[in-house]
Amino acid sequence: MSQIDLTKAAEIAIDYATQQGMDQVEAALHQGVGISITARQQELETVEKHNDAQLVVSVYKDHKTGSASSADMSETGIKSTVDAAMSIARFTGADDCLGLADADLMATDSKSLDLHHPWRADTAEMVDIALACEAAALGVDDRITNSEGASVSSYSGNAVYANSHGFLRSGSGSQHSLSCSVIGTSDKGMQRDYWYDSNRNAAKLQPAETIGKLAAERTLQRLGARQIGSKQASVMFDPIMAKSLISHLIGAIKGGAIYKKASFMLDKVGESVLPDFVTIAENPHKLGGASSSLYDGEGVATPEYRALVESGMLQSYVLGSYAARKLGLVTTANAGGVRNLTVSNTGQDAQRLLAQMGTGLLVTELIGSGINMVTGDYSRGAAGFWVENGELQFPVEEITIAGNLQDMYRNIVAIGNDYDSRGNTECGSIVVEGMTVAGS
């Protein structure tokens, strides 16, 4: 289904709901095609092709709302979806904060953000890529004895958002990924690890052989893992794990958590919540970014740059229009979440961070989700490496790291320049002093 077809469907939904007396209406539509391929033990395991489409309509009447969705994009299907939304709205409670974002906040910019790069490879070529990725991993060392497979995926689609303010925008996007996971064996047991890459442009993915070799090397590093005794120690989160610390912070400053008074970041705007060397900013207009967009999920214009935390100080919450009204504030154009976060660094690469830490734990895997977002209490299973004199000593597993997120943020002593730029957050390793490490 083309952008033109989606646009026509959106117009039908808006016009029909308006004719039925709705005060306001919005419609979000998408259609896409994709393929996912998995190879295991040098044989093709699965090929899955996807062709999906969805219409989501929300209507507002007398401060009541109803939403309905459908994959039927025919005129009859669209009108039936609107009817369903209107029926739901009749039975919901009134809330003065409900409704579209304010009309004067709608986006007007229409520049390209370089988001659409369909992968021209056919199925046979993608199968070859998956096989080559796994073969590279299996060929690294005889201790790589098994494989969970290598996977290739590709998606390309169109989307439209429209509302009764007269706002209508369409766009196209793509996302591609390649991953591999293998198992290693030694006389002390088995370990597994993985590696992957993702990008809107398949030409920018790491080579299949590189991903396979990295998956194998990471697995081999973990062989012989052991427990350690319980202690207080510095913890260095590698870039992939460090992103989770940023994610917890974003979750704590989202408007829904704030107006419900269910966040450890309540009433923290204008206060220092991180060391003064930390700035966390979103960059919604980044060319080719994983989450780039000129407007949020309500059509509100996104800024080119916005600091959420600047020099350690929390600048604002993360708000859509509903949460903003609940708090007596203005939307921050974050309906649908934050976009392309970048975390500042203190200039060290990973090796220099280890040397600065001296003795402590390098975390490369986190297990479970023991986080209390009301109090900030933090406790998660972990695996990684014990470090002494700035050097990796041995792999560790079956341990727990614990603390309180407010204290952990204040106790960050360094952030590396070893950025992992995949996904929505660009972040380096983070070193936190004074955590509890619970082991044997």
- Report which of 429, 233, 278 is spatially closest to residue 350, judged by C-alpha positions: 429
Q: Of 189, 222, 255, which marks where a domain is finished?
A: 222
Q: How many domains does the chain have?
A: 2
Tell me whether residue 252 is exposed, middle or buried, using C-beta atoms within 10 angstroms of its C-beta: 0 to 12, 13 to 18, 19 or more: buried
Mean pLDDT, rounded, of the chain: 96
Asked if residue 12 has pLDDT above 90, the reply is yes
Query: Mean pLDDT, to the nearest integer, of 75-83?
Result: 97
Q: Does residue 308 sit in the same domain as residue 187? A: no
d(Cα 396, Cα 438) in Å, to the nearest integer?
12
Amino acid 369: pLDDT:
83
144 & 211 share domain = yes
Q: Does 319 share its domain with 177?
A: no
Question: Domain with 112 in it: what CATH number?
Answer: 3.30.2290.10
pLDDT in tens, 177-202: 999 999 999 998 999 999 999 999 99
**217 and 332 co-located in one domain:** no
pLDDT at 2 over 90: no
Domain of 194, in residue numbers = 3-222
Domain boundary (179, 203, 222) is at 222
The answer on 165 and 275 residing in a single domain is: no
For residue 1, pLDDT over 80 is answered with no
Reported as a pLDDT band with limits 50, 70 and 90, residue 269 is very high
pLDDT digits (tens, 9 = 90+) for 27-38: 999 999 999 999
pTM, rounded to two decimals = 0.94
Q: Are residues 185 and 322 in the same domain?
A: no
Q: Are residues 43 and 174 in the same domain?
A: yes
Residue 36 tokens, joined: 């996912």
Specify whether 195 is located in the same domain as 295.
Answer: no
pLDDT digits 0-9 by tens, 129-168: 999 999 999 999 999 999 999 999 999 999 999 999 999 9
Q: pLDDT band for position 272 (50/70/90)? A: very high
Tell me what the mean pLDDT of segment 198-226 comes to: 97
**Residues of the chain above pLDDT 90, percent:** 97
Q: Which of 174, 201, 222 is the last residue of a domain?
A: 222
Based on the fold, state whether residues 189 and 235 are members of the same structural domain: no
- pLDDT at 440 (0 to 100): 78
Residues 232 and 218 in one domain: no
pLDDT tens across 394-430, in order?
999 999 999 999 999 999 999 999 999 999 999 999 9
What's the confidence (pLDDT) of residue 188? 86
Identify the pLDDT of residue 4: 64
121 & 250 share domain: no
Residues 217 and 254 in one domain: no
Please check the confidence at residue 231 and state whether its pLDDT lies above 70. yes
